[in-house]
Amino acid sequence: MFTGPVTRDIDDVRRFQTAARSGVKLALAAGFKSPLLITVPHPKYPQAELVSSLGALLPLYTPLNVREEEKSDKFEQLGIMPIGCENLLELVQAYEASFTVCRDIGETGPERMSPPNVARYVQDVFDGGNVQVDVTDNQKVIEKEYPLMAAVNRAANQVKEHQARLIRLEYCGEGKIENTYYLVGKGVTIDTGGCDLKTGGHMFGMCRDKYGSAVVAGFFKALDILRPKGIKVVGYMCMVRNSIGSYAYTCDEVITARSGKRIHIYNTDAEGRITMLDPLTKAKEEALKAENPHLITIATLTGHEVISYGLYAAMMDNGAAHYSFANLAALGPAKKSGWARRMQDIGDIYGQPIEISRLQPEDFDFHKAECEQAHLRQGNTKPSVQTMRGHQTPGAFLIMASRLDEHGCDSEQPLKFTHIDMGSACGEHPETSFPNPLVTLVAE
């Protein structure tokens, strides 16, 4: 297969990925059993071999439920010949294992991957490996320690197999720890919208509303295999089901978060931000004692992000909207570190571009409470696509509601925080996903 032109202004390394994917699809249709993939290196694209290999493997994923019922290998084997990348095979194996875990969780239906089943799957995946798994399944503990997460799952709790789970993952690399990362993933196994019910077919595909947590699990699978030194990574998978029923949470409730902030609920279909909020606060408490910590939330959060950026994830670092190289001290902690820009550069190199979005002062003003009962309002009564700056304001909400705003550039203990809205970055449902930003996170 040929990539076509690769040196025009509109070309990038994904030309190699597309060509490899098309070649594998052609080989499958022709009945080949053991094809060999060879990618000719290109000086403009240092990761072309890896990118094309990941593209070739995409059509070979078999859904979890199919694998559990029947023999599922599409090829007897796929050969990959490294030319310019010495550790290509090791990287491909790590990435593919990472993608398999991510897709198994993210794409499988809401019953097979209910919160308890996700917990069991994750425990099995990391059994005997380098990742420690702890599952909080006591609903009383969740109600006390993570009250907003519990509220989202309140209706679903009436069914045992739909009860919430908080899954904590931890990887600690060899040697002196120089950087600590905390990843908090949204894990809504099916989003009905709750009492603000999704209608007109908009519920279809909402089994993928757990892809934030799926990316967290997939990232840890790569850590388990590659074993990078000098870093510690903690992940929280916030597994809930946003059901509708007689005990469902509703608008007009005022719920006190783990942080002590009182949150006024406006829209039960804005459940993702409050599902992650209390685990984020817990992660913040841990981060205050950690070495060079960076907190990250990952979520398929808003339709606004989708209409803004399409199939690309958007990153928002904490801090003022304006970069000022003349006065770096004025930047927020994450923005000062340049993390989003570095991730964007890595994404371009590895064929998974990411967009940078920015927080503005009005994003914080938007979430100030409109009544004395609450400190903050969760959102408004409109869908995000009808809300000005509809994907930026949730990042500001998470900062204020977790009290991360007390750890900005002017504090004694600044904390880096980045909010990643995946939107529809896992692709068009029900096609097999290439979830953005998993490749970039692993590469970083």
32 and 177 inside one domain? no
User: What residue has token string 């249709």?
Assistant: 29
Give the Cα separation of 416 and 234 in Å (integer): 15
* pLDDT > 70: percent of the chain: 97
335 and 368 inside one domain? yes
Domain tally, the chain: 2
* pLDDT > 90: percent of the chain: 91
Q: Does some domain include residue 290?
A: yes
435: burial class by Cβ within 10 Å (0-12, 13-18, 19+)?
buried
Condensed to tens digits (0 to 9), the pLDDT of residues 376-403 reads 999 999 999 999 999 999 999 999 999 9
Nearest to 238 by CA among 194, 190, 184: 184
Question: Is the pLDDT confidence value at 325 over 60?
Answer: no
Residue 347: phi, psi to the nearest 5?
A: -60, -40
User: What residue has token string 């022709």?
Assistant: 30
- For residues 257 and 397, the answer to whether their CB atoms sit within 8 Å is no
pTM value is 0.96
Condensed to tens digits (0 to 9), the pLDDT of residues 244-268 reads 999 999 999 999 999 999 999 999 9
164 and 115 inside one domain? yes
Last residue of a domain, one of 54, 86, 118: 86
Show Cβ contacts of residue 390 under 8 Å, excluding neighbours closer than 6 positions: 302, 303, 304, 305, 383, 384
Condensed to tens digits (0 to 9), the pLDDT of residues 20-48 reads 999 999 999 999 999 999 999 999 999 99
Condensed to tens digits (0 to 9), the pLDDT of residues 3-20 reads 889 999 999 999 999 999
Q: Does some domain include residue 128?
A: yes
Q: Does some domain include residue 3?
A: no
Give the Cα separation of 422 and 128 in Å (integer): 31
33 and 115 inside one domain? no
Which residues are annotated as catalytic?
198, 273
What does the DSSP assignment read for 264-300?
A: E---TT-HHHHHHHHHHHHHHHHHTTSSSEEEEEEE-
Query: What pLDDT score does 1 carry?
Result: 66
Query: What pLDDT score does 335 carry?
Result: 86
214 and 321 inside one domain? yes
Nearest to 54 by CA among 102, 87, 88: 88
Q: Does some domain include residue 6?
A: no
Q: Does some domain include residue 120?
A: yes
- For residues 206 and 220, the answer to whether their CB atoms sit within 8 Å is no
Range of the domain at 25: 14-86
Show Cβ contacts of residue 57 under 8 Å, excluding neighbours closer than 6 positions: 24, 78, 92, 96, 99
348 and 398 inside one domain? yes
77 and 161 inside one domain? no
153 and 302 inside one domain? yes
Question: Is the pLDDT confidence value at 164 over 60?
Answer: yes
Q: Does some domain include residue 95?
A: no
Under DSSP, the state recorded for 98 is H
Condensed to tens digits (0 to 9), the pLDDT of residues 328-385 reads 555 789 888 999 999 999 999 999 999 999 999 999 999 999 999 999 999 999 999 9
Compute the mean pLDDT over every residue in the chain, rounded to the nearest whole number: 95
- For residues 234 and 181, the answer to whether their CB atoms sit within 8 Å is yes
- Sign, CA dihedral 77-78-83-86, equals negative
